[in-house]
């Protein structure tokens, strides 16, 4: 009570800014580790903290001493373990992308969509099978690690070359995180939905499967028919037209995507045939 009674207007503003800054830092750190193996390490650290608290509460001297020794060297271990996430965060801070998206993000996204549409149309005309997965909120690093790392800028030429038959990376999916191809030849979980059309092959089942385990979106090109399909939320729209595909990419992946658009079941807004 004494704190609030003696609180001045300037001190209130200062404390508010202090709390908001710490809150944002914690929030940003969570964003850095989400979808990575680091989140499992954080869970392990949380368990160790609970063990330390219990050992202190019940005066378990040996266990408490062991935990204190562990925490003494644990700070250095944390920096080593989380080195990739810390480096990524510092890189984003240096590029000025820590607090907001810029018009450059929109331009890069537009460029990405243009190259994807060009590549997908090329593959469709020549009936070359393809599977392109877009990461959204749910991390896909588990599946990225099953493929070949690329960390490549997206171009239609690269996408086409990856899926050309009998090339080293053509078998499997590519995963796009942000506006980069993170990995190629990735293995995805197959959907076990018994109501999926028997006409759909492994690529379509993999696309549906990855959309069932999270919120990822996938584009599939059939090598039998050349049809382009879109999978999201465990559903697939087959033979989707180019206009609807572009619209959906912007609605779900654009930095300025509308939240209201995302809440509407996507197959109600699509051109094509639902499977």
**What tens digit of pLDDT does each residue of 255-270 get?**
766 444 444 444 444 4
Tell me the C-alpha distance between 151 and 70, whole Å: 36
Tell me the C-alpha distance between 53 and 66, whole Å: 12
Beta strand residue intervals within 57-108, DSSP E: none
The pLDDT, as a whole number, for residue 92 is: 61
Domain range list for the chain: 2-94, 103-274
Q: Which two tokens stand for residue 138?
A: 């749910």
Backbone angles phi, psi at 82, to 5 degrees: -95, 20
The pLDDT, as a whole number, for residue 68 is: 82
How many CB atoms sit inside 10 A of residue 231's CB?
29
**CATH fold for the domain made of 103-274:** YojJ-like (1 (3.40.1700)
Contact 152, 158 (CB under 8 A): yes
DSSP reduced 3-state for 231: strand
89 burial type by CB count under 10 A (0-12 exposed, 13-18 middle, 19+ buried): middle
Tell me the C-alpha distance between 161 and 159, whole Å: 5
Give the full edge-to-edge strand order of the sheet including 273-274. 148-153, 180-186, 173-177, 130-134, 217-221, 228-232, 235-238, 273-274
Residues of the chain under the 70 pLDDT cut: 1-8, 11, 31-40, 81-82, 84-86, 88-104, 256-275
Tell me the C-alpha distance between 205 and 231, whole Å: 9
Full DSSP string of 130-145: EEEEE--SS--HHHHT
Tell me the C-alpha distance between 27 and 31, whole Å: 6
The pLDDT, as a whole number, for residue 1 is: 56
């Amino acid at each position: 009570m004494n704190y609030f009674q003696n609180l001045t207007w300037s001190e209130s503003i200062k404390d508010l800014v202090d709390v908001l800054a710490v809150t944002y830092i914690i929030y940003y750190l969570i964003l850095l580790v989400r979808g990575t193996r680091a989140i499992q390490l954080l869970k392990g650290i949380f368990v160790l903290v609970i063990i330390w608290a219990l050992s202190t509460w019940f005066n378990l001297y040996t266990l408490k001493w062991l935990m204190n020794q562990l925490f003494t060297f644990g700070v250095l271990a944390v920096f080593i373990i989380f080195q990739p996430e810390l480096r990524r965060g510092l890189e984003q801070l240096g590029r000025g992308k820590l607090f907001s998206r810029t018009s450059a993000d929109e331009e890069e996204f537009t460029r990405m969509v243009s190259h994807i549409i060009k590549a997908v149309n090329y593959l469709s005309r020549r009936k070359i099978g393809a599977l392109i997965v877009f990461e959204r909120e749910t991390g896909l690093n588990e599946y990225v690690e099953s493929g070949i790392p690329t960390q490549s800028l997206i171009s239609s030429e690269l996408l086409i070359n990856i899926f050309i038959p009998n090339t080293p990376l053509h078998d499997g999916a590519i995963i796009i995180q942000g506006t980069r191809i993170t990995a190629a030849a990735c293995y995805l979980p197959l959907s076990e939905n018994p109501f999926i059309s028997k006409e759909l092959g492994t690529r379509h089942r993999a696309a549906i499967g990855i959309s069932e385990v999270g919120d990822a979106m996938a584009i599939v090109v059939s090598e039998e028919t050349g049809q382009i399909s879109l999978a999201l939320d465990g559903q697939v729209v087959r033979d989707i037209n180019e206009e609807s595909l572009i619209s959906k990419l912007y609605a779900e992946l654009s930095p300025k995507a509308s939240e209201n658009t995302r809440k509407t079941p996507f197959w109600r807004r699509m051109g094509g045939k639902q499977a």
